[in-house]
Chains A and B, each alone.
Chain A
Amino acid sequence: MTHIVLETDRLTKRFGGLAATDECSLEVVAGEIHALIGPNGAGKTTLLAQLAGELRPDSGRILFEGRDITRLPVHRRVAAGIARSFQITTLFPKFTVRENLALAVQARTGHSFDGFGVVADESDLDDGAEETAAQVGLSDVLDTVVGALSHGRQRQLELGMALACRPRLLLLDEPMAGTDPEEAQAMGRLILALRPALTCILVEHDMDVVFRLADRISVLVAGRVIATGPAETIRTDPQVIAAYLGAEPIASTESIR
């Protein structure tokens, strides 16, 4: 039997009259990369924000490892094991890579209300930062100020910030956004290497990327999941083709493979 890590139960979020998430039910299995796809405005980002805790759903439930986390604030969800990356790079541009990662390590190791220990000599923060930097390939720029890094490297750090939280479930919001093909390739390898220790939910526009990385795909249209399954099933699902994929993108992904 497969073990379900995350489950949403008829999750609903309305903005005025518009239901951005409409009785959305989703199951994510341990160790898989689960892609969320759908046309613009399908509610992918809204759903992700509810999973991360930034938005409160109007109704429905979110279960993480069997526990109801619907009302948990963001920082408590991180402590529970859910971390996210942002579509728009959200880092500390004036800090070094080391300082960025050390902040994430500090959150996890606690004592952030310790107002007396001087940080400069705390090597455990350093070690944690260096470990994550090595994982995402940023060891050579540890002491570089983030604002001076290329966009591609900032995207690597964006992923690193989430990884430094040591999550069990990773929410990735378009991790390749704005990267060149080479950087996207590298990012793809990074994400694939996270399996099976980590479960990932991946929101991504690029269908090539989705079909290459995802173990299973859920298709979101107008706030609802209209289909879930492995790439092969989704690719040929008539409902999905009608609502989203159309005929041509399928051909192009076929040729890539």
Chain B
Amino acid sequence: MSHRPQTPLTAGLPGPWTAIAVVVALALYPLAMHAAGQDFYISLGSRVLIMALAASALNLALGYGGMISLGHAAFLGVGGYAVAVLAQHGVLAAGLALPVAVIAAAVAAFLIGAVSLRTRGVYFIMITLAFAQVFYYLAISLPRFGGDDGLPLAARSQIPGLALAGDLTFYYFVLFTVGLAFVLLYRLAASRFGRALVAVRENERRMAAIGYPVYRLRLVAFTLSGGLAGLAGALLANLNTGVTPHLLTWHQSGILIVMVILGGAGYFWGGLIGAALFLVLEEVISDHTEHWNLFLGLLLLFIVLAAPDGVMSLRQRLGALLDRKKVAPARETAP
């Protein structure tokens, strides 16, 4: 494989050792925090993992599929509200609540996608935003959904034999769930489906001309993306023991896009890196100043200027730079 150049079809897919290293690091993280007496950072870790899933779900649509959705908060919200509404009706079993949340969000994504994917470019951005706003206003105007206050969760979802109330247990539950979702995302990205999706992003007309049902490919990807975002929403509702309409705001959709672009759209780890960078920076800066938004903004601006294709693209760019340095002296010595 080494003689074949990296292209958008192969770039950004992790090797097995990277994946193992990431899993080990994430598994050790809460133990290290606990040992250091910084238990607060365990729940920050859970938040990072959950938002990493949400951002990676968006990355499937935005990065791999080239569908710039400004409405992914809707799927996050549908997943979260599904868990909260079920809990209100006495359904607390995670084994039921999480799948229902995923399916509800996937159905919402399918319906929104079926309409939105008939448009392109700015129109697609605006129509996904409009749909998400509909969900937002639905949530704040219906008393059954708690209006502006949202819905509190009396307790976290239940798994027989496991107490999710503790932050440490909950972290590992999140790590396990998000890990499974990442395995699914990896298989998708590396499969025939993933290749076709990237190729549609690169050249839609040619893809149709060689026999691909472009619309259907995009719709399937968008639906899967929405379903996974719904899973993130369900976990988030558990983390916060409740949902508020804030989960559904377009601000939330915007943050997801920022995370994806920051980490690297179309790179497998893009969502994880973007979410981690964003949330940790936010945490650290807000510890020091009230005006953390300003500093976070400046820092993000700097990162995006330094790595326009996201942090994950730096490796390739550095590689290309080193290659050029190696080639340059050779050229000088040539007669």
Contact = CB atoms under 8 A, between A and B. Distances in A.
Do chains A and B stick together as partners?
yes
Given A118-B190, A143-B4, A143-B5, A107 B206 contact: no
B65 to A, nearest CB: 13
B203 A114 contact: no
A96 interface: yes
A108 interface: yes
Contact of A94 (B3, B193, B202, B212): B202
A111 B192 contact: yes
A13 B206 CA distance: 23
B191 A83 contact: no
Contacts of A91: 203, 206
Contacts of A119: 190-192, 194-195
A113 B220 CA distance: 8
A83 B212 CA distance: 12
Interface string A57-80: 000000000000000011100110
Interface residues of B, number: 33
Q: Which of B1, B3, B7 has the most CB of A within 10 A?
A: B7
Nearest to B4: A143
Contacts of A144: 5
Contacts of B188: 115
A90 B202 CA distance: 10
B303 interface: no
B95 interface: no
Contact of B9 (A52, A73, A95, A143): A95
Contacts of B217: 112-113
B210 A78 contact: yes
A104 interface: yes
B7 A52 contact: no
B231 interface: no
Contact of A112 (B7, B9, B196, B209): B196
Nearest to B7: A95
B8 interface: yes
Nearest to A114: B192
Q: Which of A54, A75, A116 has the most CB of B within 10 A?
A: A75
A99 interface: yes
A244 interface: no
B32 interface: no
B209 to A, nearest CB: 6
Given A75-B213, A78-B209, A113-B220, A103 B7 contact: no
Contact of B209 (A74, A98, A118): A74
Interface in B12-40: none
A90 B209 contact: yes
Contacts of A90: 203, 205-206, 209
Contacts of A114: 191-193
Given A95-B202, A115-B191, A115-B194, A83 B7 contact: no
A34 interface: no
Interface in B206-244: 206-214, 217, 220, 224
Nearest to B214: A75
A112 B212 contact: yes
Given A92-B203, A119-B195, A165 B211 contact: yes
A113 B193 contact: yes
Nearest to A113: B193
B209 A92 contact: no
Contact of B7 (A99, A107, A113, A164): A99
B187 interface: yes
Contact of A96 (B7, B203, B210): B7
A143 B3 CA distance: 8
Interface in B233-268: none
Contacts of B212: 75, 107, 112
Given A117-B192, A119-B192, A161-B206, A94 B211 contact: no
A78 B1 CA distance: 31
Contacts of A104: 210-211
A74 B212 CA distance: 8
Interface string B170-214: 000000000000000001101111111001001101111111111
Interface in A98-156: 98-99, 103-104, 106-108, 111-120, 122, 143-145
A119 B210 CA distance: 18
A75 B214 CA distance: 8
Contacts of A106: 192, 195-196
A74 B209 CA distance: 6
Nearest to B193: A115
Given A104-B210, A108-B211, A96 B195 contact: no
Nearest to A116: B187
B193 A86 contact: no
Contacts of B199: 92, 95, 103
Nearest 7 Cβ contacts at the A-B interface: A78-B211, A107-B211, A115-B193, A104-B210, A74-B208, A118-B190, A115-B188
Given A116-B187, A165-B211, 5 more contacts: A73-B208, A83-B210, A84-B209, A94-B8, A104-B211
23 contacts: A78-B211, A83-B210, A90-B205, A90-B206, A94-B7, A96-B4, A103-B210, A106-B192, A111-B192, A112-B193, A112-B196, A114-B191, A114-B192, A115-B194, A119-B190, A119-B191, A119-B192, A119-B194, A120-B1, A122-B192, A145-B5, A161-B206, A165-B211
